[in-house]
Amino acid sequence: MSSMGVPQIAAIMGSCVAGGAYLPIMSDEALIVEGSGSIFLAGPYLVKAAIGEDVDLETLGGARTHCEISGVTDYKMPDDKTCLDTIRKLVSKMGQQDKAGFDRIKSALPKLSPSEIPGIFPENPTKPYDMLEILKRIVDVSDLIQYKADYGKSIICAYARIDGWAVGIVANQRLVVKNAAGEMQFGGVIYSDSADKATRFIMNCNQKKIPLIFLHDVTGFMVGKRSEHGGIIKDGAKMVNAVANSTVPKFTIIIGNSFGAGNYAMCGKAYDPRWILAWPSAKIAVMGGTQAAKVLTQIQVSTLRKKGAAPDPAGEQKLFEDIKAKYDEQTSPYYAAARLWVDAIIDPRRTREFISAGIEMSNNGIVEKFNPGILQT
């Protein structure tokens, strides 16, 4: 990071031992708090065991030792508050770095109120709704320019502004739609045409240095013989490739379902979004609770049958309900947040605030050249 020109300041407010001792001292400047901060390669007990020397913690590696004797640290601080205040003063003296250059104009509120979002998003996660109505309550002036609006309709791709920042939005449409051939497409499912559209849109945003916003309510890619024969794996791979290789900042908001490979394609945790946020309504899993419970129940019943102990219908139903209850608990955004799978659970009405703050922070970084590599065609 230092060789990239990124300033680093470390605050030593507790013990830093062994390998952990190198990390703050590899920073450009290090502050240490008297009485609580200490830094050494081996603590007093290990020193005693290794070489028989008796030494107390402060003498071995406290603030006075490293600020007055060894010169390892740069600033001796009397308490935590003074330490943090001093860091603010040091940062305030830094020269301005080149910005990433994301486009921003004067902010404008949505014409449609964000306070209406909870009334649009259904309590029942299987009920269809129009994702466009939610987007109109997030973006400036409720104005979106849809990319290929009449093609691949199960994914919405649109240019817009959020708090003045130019953004590219990739969002799952939850309405049941029809393609030009009159075929029905389920909401929240990624089809070949929608994956193809999203891939090109993501690449365009990278080409034009526009941050990407992904809004999840996805149950996965379409399955079955027709989809497989149509090359759904190839089209899905293109979308995943574009997401994985994107160099513009990516921000992921999980508002509803985020299941299976749909999580990958829509920039899930593994694809390094700058922020991955969840609404309280989010569900994150390999597949939906009902589907997973049915599959696991079938496997367990099949195993019991082979042993000659197959359950009766009531026992099979209880087995299904037990599995589903456990699975549903683990799809909760609170379960995910507790394991750092999402960065925060946010109020849906504050979505635009979080996105704006994320882009503003990202604008202080750099954007590397986009190279998607070889795409399946």
| pLDDT tens track for 189-211 | 999 999 999 999 999 999 999 99
Residue 305 above 80 pLDDT? no
pLDDT band at 311 (very low <50, low <70, confident <90, very high): confident
Burial of 229 (0-12, 13-18, 19+ CB in 10 A): exposed
Minimal CA–CA distance to 339: which of 278, 296, 292?
Answer: 278
One-letter amino acid at 285 equals: A
Written out in words, the top-level CATH class of the domain with range 9-92 is: alpha beta
CA dist 373 to 156, 238, 241, 243, Å? Answer: 25, 10, 8, 12
114-288+331-362 under CATH 3.90.226.10, yes or no:
yes
pLDDT of residue 268: 93
Question: Of the given ranges (96-100, 266-270, 308-312), which has the lowest mean pLDDT?
Answer: 308-312
* Tens-digit pLDDT profile for residues 116-161: 999 999 988 889 999 999 999 999 999 999 999 999 999 999 999 9
178-194 pLDDT, tens digit each? 998 899 999 999 999 99
Most confident of 201-215, 219-233, 294-308, 325-339: 201-215
Q: How does DSSP assign 315-340, residue by residue?
A: HHHHHHHHHHHHHHHHTSHHHHHHTT
- Compute the mean pLDDT over every residue in the chain, rounded to the nearest whole number: 91
* Exposure b/e, 355-366, CB count within 10 A at least 16 = b: bbebbeebbeee
pLDDT, greater one: 79 or 313: 79
Please state the φ and ψ torsions of residue 164, each to the nearest 5 degrees.
90, -20
pLDDT category, 315, cuts 50, 70, 90?
confident
Amino acid (one-letter) located at 179: N
Calculate what percentage of the chain has a pLDDT beyond 70.
99
DSSP bridge partners of 252: 214, 276
Pairing of strands 344-345, 275-278: parallel
Cα 228 from Cα 248, distance rounded (Å): 31
Q: What are phi and psi of 185, to 5 degrees?
A: -130, 130
What is the reported pLDDT for 288? Answer: 67
Within the chain, all domains assigned CATH 3.90.226.10 are found at 9-92, 114-288+331-362
CA distances from 371 to 51, 99, 169, 247, 249 (A): 54, 21, 20, 9, 15
Q: Looking at 18-22, 84-88, 348-352, which range is the least confident one?
A: 18-22
Look at residue 287 and tell me whether its pLDDT is greater than 80: no
d(CA 340, CA 62): 33
Tell me: the pLDDT tens digits for 42-57?
A: 989 988 999 999 999 9
pLDDT of residue 289: 65
